[in-house]
Amino acid sequence: GSEAPGKLEGIESWATWVGLNLLYERYLVKRKGFVVETPNEALERVASFVAEAELSLGGSLDAARQEFYEIMSSGRFMPNSPTIMNSGTKYHQLAACFVIPLEDDMDSIFSALNTAAWVFKTGAGAGFDFTPLRGRGSPLSFGGTASGPVSFMKLFDEVADVIKEGGRRRAAMMGVLHDVHVDLEDFINSKLSGGLENFNISVGVHDAFMMAAASDSEWNLYDPNECPQLVGLLSGDLPDLWRRCSPRRTVRASSLLEEAARAAWETGDPGLVFLDTINQHNPTPRLGRIRATNPCGETPLLSWEACNLGSLNLGRYVKDEGIDWELLEHDIRIAVRFLDDVIETSWYPRPEIEAAVKRTRKIGLGVMGWADMLAKLKIPYDSDSALYLADKLMEFIAYVARDESNRLSRERGPYPEFPGSIHKDGRFNFEPQVSSSQIYDESKVSDAVHSIVNSRPKLDWDRVRSEMMEGTRNATMTTIAPTGSISIIADASSSIEPFYSLIYIRQSSLFSWVELNRFLRDWLQESNNLNAEKIKDVIRHGGSVRGLSWVPSDVQAVLGTALDIDWRWHVRMQAVFQRWVDNAVSKTVNMRRDATVDDVKGVFIEAWRLKCKGITVFRDQSKGVQVMSVNQNI
């Protein structure tokens, strides 16, 4: 406990009680119900276990172990939860994200359920493309009619319910259905009446669909039983489908988009997954097309692939009103090595998964604590300065990460699919890119932010490109995950999200607690305002300071919350990070309760236009249970 004499070290010296509590409840190894390690020992366990990969890869186990421990125990880097929970245990499955394929037959469906059960058991989540399943009412070979993809999703949901009982984590799933499937409306509305609690759902949309919606054209829906070729299509293949298959129904694309926006307005689901954009950036097209993502959308994967993630805590790199680029570069290199080692040391629930993972060696290095960094630097989230800094910062991370993967390739060899990849041809994952001028106006960037960016080390992309063409270790380097749990452990704001609220109650399945934003607290203290009256005023104001007359305008600007920030800035922030991210960006566009269905449609269209890979909205209080909610009655 905190009364213990002696100096606290490592994570124990800076962790909050909430973070430590979470570690004790879910992450530390238990025997017979008792926790048998300290938080520092847990990080030592992770570092030692992952570093074992160095033995077979010709590196130095001791050096790696120390470096891995140092970046975690200092709170600058955290791997995804399964790596912290499962390293060194019997089922040492270390990845967070899986995509499991389904075909239109019982064997395939039940075998996918079986695989998914193992994935859930180890604290990870899985995504599925349900498009191959024949539509509701379609004939079956033994007579009778099919019940359709949505009914099978209910089955998956039941299994997830059973497995999560007694587990340490929610069994999270992503269900995707492509925009050409005949059961599309059933799918879009499948969460309206409750149920499917373990699913996030997303409509897989084509560019052609978005254009048809914009021009108010007709859109054809097909049954895969009659047209098997509709699985895994891209926009370019649609004319052929239209010629060769007869649709079951024809609807206006704009009313489908409207229906999706209405359901999302009401429940947060469905989101959209932009299939053409995702596949334009598929690094290994020879291995097939990407049809689904993991549960929170940040990792589009080929069938059977898995991806392990880790996140840098950006708040920790602020130094002297600028960014400590050297330390950041140092940590990116160690984190990349760590994540590549995780691939070697992880246990895999199926041989198909192990084969797919080791063929492409995808990793997902991302960030958390972005709102912390901005607040420390006194930059409002909803500003061109913030977008510009995000652009230059993520470019730096992408650059160093790819450079390190090239270096690892010289040491350990390229990923096996490299000869058939875009990298061999000298193309980076993030090319082609949407131009930055479509997202922000550089002429509005502050001098202070220009000078932070000017202190960034020089990037030589041509060198990195030509070295990459000789061999690179990983098919993807970067992913921006939600960091729901690891940001609590690391005491960071989550992912690239703005602060949700300056005062709120956080609820987990285990307990709930009240938090006062640290930047607000510091300012209240400095300005002699830290008293019950002022705090109550912020609470009455919905956990925000924007519009409170006693708060100066610069403080109001810097402490903007998710609901203060207009949806256009949310989408721009996602898009600007996506410019440099190999996988995808998990982001929730939080909207105020009074947002309209048209606003939601606006978010969908803008995200597509700015080349996001997917999009999720959440309107305040639109669901019964919220992970985070502003409580007026504290």
> Is the separation of the CB atoms in 100 and 115 below 8 Å?
yes
Two tokens, residue 50: 């992952």
Q: How far apart are CA 502 and CA 519, in angstroms?
A: 9
Is 617 strand, coil or helix?
strand
Q: Between residues 134 and 169, which has the closer beta carbon with respect to ligand UDP?
A: 169
Nearest approach, Cβ of residue 156 and ligand UDP (Å) = 14
Active-site residue, 633 included: no
Q: Between residues 169 and 191, which has the closer beta carbon with respect to ligand UDP?
A: 169
Q: Between residues 97 and 203, which has the closer beta carbon with respect to ligand UDP?
A: 97
Please report how many Cα atoms fall inside a 13 Å half-sphere around the Cα of residue 237, on the Cβ side.
13
> Is the separation of the CB atoms in 94 and 86 below 8 Å?
yes
Two tokens, residue 626: 């919220």
Return the bridge partners of 34, or none. Answer: 31
Q: How far apart are CA 135 and CA 400, in angstroms?
A: 47
Q: Between residues 272 and 535, which has the closer beta carbon with respect to ligand UDP?
A: 272
Is 530 strand, coil or helix?
coil
Residue-wise DSSP of 322-371: EE-HHHHHHHHHHHHHHHHHHHHH---SSHHHHHHHHHH--EEEEEE-HH
Nearest approach, Cβ of residue 588 and ligand UDP (Å) = 11
Q: Between residues 5 and 166, which has the closer beta carbon with respect to ligand UDP?
A: 166
Two tokens, residue 523: 């300012």
Q: Between residues 96 and 464, which has the closer beta carbon with respect to ligand UDP?
A: 96
Q: How far apart are CA 116 and CA 98, in angstroms?
A: 9
φ, ψ dihedrals at 250, nearest 5°: -130, 130
Is 48 strand, coil or helix?
helix
Q: How far apart are CA 596 and CA 598, in angstroms?
A: 5
Nearest approach, Cβ of residue 480 and ligand UDP (Å) = 9
User: How far apart, in Å, are the Cα atoms of 364 and each of 262, 404, 575, 582?
Assistant: 33, 14, 17, 8
Is 586 strand, coil or helix?
coil
Candidates 461, 449, 464; CA nearest to 389 is: 449
Nearest approach, Cβ of residue 383 and ligand UDP (Å) = 26
Give the interface with ligand UDP as residue ranges (CB under 6 A).
80-81, 96-97, 124-125, 169-170, 172, 294-296, 298, 481-486
Nearest approach, Cβ of residue 11 and ligand UDP (Å) = 15
Which one of 44, 54, 259, 298 is the catalytic residue? Answer: 298
> Is the separation of the CB atoms in 444 and 385 below 8 Å?
yes
Q: Between residues 220 and 578, which has the closer beta carbon with respect to ligand UDP?
A: 578
Q: Which helix (H) or strand (E) holds 514?
A: strand 512-516
Which one of 198, 200, 220, 294 is the catalytic residue? Answer: 294
> Is the separation of the CB atoms in 310 and 366 below 8 Å?
yes
Nearest approach, Cβ of residue 488 and ligand UDP (Å) = 8
Return the DSSP state at 313: E
Beta pairing, strands 503-507 & 628-629: antiparallel
Active-site residue, 227 included: no
Is 310 strand, coil or helix?
strand
In which residue are the tokens 């125990």 written? 73
Active-site residue, 296 included: yes
Nearest approach, Cβ of residue 338 and ligand UDP (Å) = 14
Nearest approach, Cβ of residue 490 and ligand UDP (Å) = 9
Distance of alpha carbon 81 from the chain centroid: 13
Return the DSSP state at 24: I
Q: How far apart are CA 414 and CA 326, in angstroms?
A: 27
Which one of 97, 296, 307, 612 is the catalytic residue? Answer: 296
Nearest approach, Cβ of residue 173 and ligand UDP (Å) = 8
Residue type present at position 432: P
3-state secondary structure 108-155: HHHHHHHHHHHHHHCCCEEEEECCCCCCCCCECCCCCECCCHHHHHHH
Nearest approach, Cβ of residue 364 and ligand UDP (Å) = 9
> Is the separation of the CB atoms in 224 and 132 below 8 Å?
yes
Q: Between residues 124 and 576, which has the closer beta carbon with respect to ligand UDP?
A: 124
Distance of alpha carbon 267 from the chain centroid: 20
Nearest approach, Cβ of residue 170 and ligand UDP (Å) = 4
Nearest approach, Cβ of residue 309 and ligand UDP (Å) = 6
Helices (H), 500-628: 518-526, 532-540, 553-558, 567-578, 597-609
| Residue number, nearest CB to ligand UDP | 125
Q: Between residues 53 and 124, which has the closer beta carbon with respect to ligand UDP?
A: 124
Q: Between residues 87 and 294, which has the closer beta carbon with respect to ligand UDP?
A: 294
Is 435 strand, coil or helix?
coil
Distance of alpha carbon 121 from the chain centroid: 20
Distance of alpha carbon 630 from the chain centroid: 23
Q: Between residues 409 and 476, which has the closer beta carbon with respect to ligand UDP?
A: 476
Residue type present at position 121: K
Q: Between residues 20 and 597, which has the closer beta carbon with respect to ligand UDP?
A: 20
Residues taking part in catalysis: 294, 296, 298
